[in-house]
Chains A and B, each alone.
Chain A
């Protein structure tokens, strides 16, 4: 059974940093692209970033480009999202997802709140 468990969310001040992690199990992690999708309060789903299985290819939404960095540790079956220069608009539940095309598996989400 595929499991994706996010961690690392919390309250951070504007301009601050946070690193999210997603522990994956139940599949061959290194064989799959992974992505992050977020949902701001009262808003819809927004794709944030994706990374290829080997980690060589990374993709970002314009709204986070230059501030967020996606990476993965295939030996640890873990996906990461380093978030810098955080803004109030980044406040959202962040979901880890297996793939960025047809997303069959999602984590339960971790809440990031950017506020002073």
Chain B
């Protein structure tokens, strides 16, 4: 199975800050890498697909980049409603695997 290593596991930032989360795959995944936002009691929400494509309706402050094994997720200006846990997910190989999550808090 492909292992997805996400860092940091938690992050505290202020409103307006630029926030960056990284995800490393244990082998190349051909950019088949998605980012999800998950709030307690809610369904996960797709934000970025195929490493860098912004899902329809998602604010442009969210972005993704990277290729091969190393990927980055960025919130350009943190908003209070962005408080959530963020997950990367690869689907290059079955089983699809998620990173362990990054819990984002407001400082």
**Which residues does A use to contact B, with CB under 8 Å?**
35, 37, 44-47, 50, 59, 61-62, 95, 100-104, 106-109
* CA A62 to CA B97, docked complex, whole Å: 12
Q: B102: nearest residue on chain A (CB-CB)?
A: A44
Additional 16 contacts, C-beta under 8 A, given A44-B99, A95-B44: A45-B36, A45-B98, A46-B98, A47-B97, A50-B94, A50-B96, A61-B95, A62-B1, A100-B94, A100-B96, A101-B32, A102-B46, A103-B44, A104-B55, A106-B43, A107-B43
Q: B38: nearest residue on chain A (CB-CB)?
A: A45
* CA A27 to CA B55, docked complex, whole Å: 19
Report the minimal beta-carbon distance from B37 to chain A, rounded to whole angstroms: 11
- Are the C-beta atoms of A44 and B100 separated by less than 8 Å? yes
Q: Which of A47, A102, A109 contacts B43 (CB 8 A)?
A: A109
Report the minimal beta-carbon distance from B76 to chain A, rounded to whole angstroms: 23
- Are the C-beta atoms of A47 and B95 separated by less than 8 Å? yes
Task: Report, nearest first, the 10 A-B pairs whose CB atoms are least far apart.
Answer: A106-B43, A101-B91, A44-B101, A45-B98, A102-B49, A47-B96, A44-B100, A104-B46, A100-B96, A61-B95
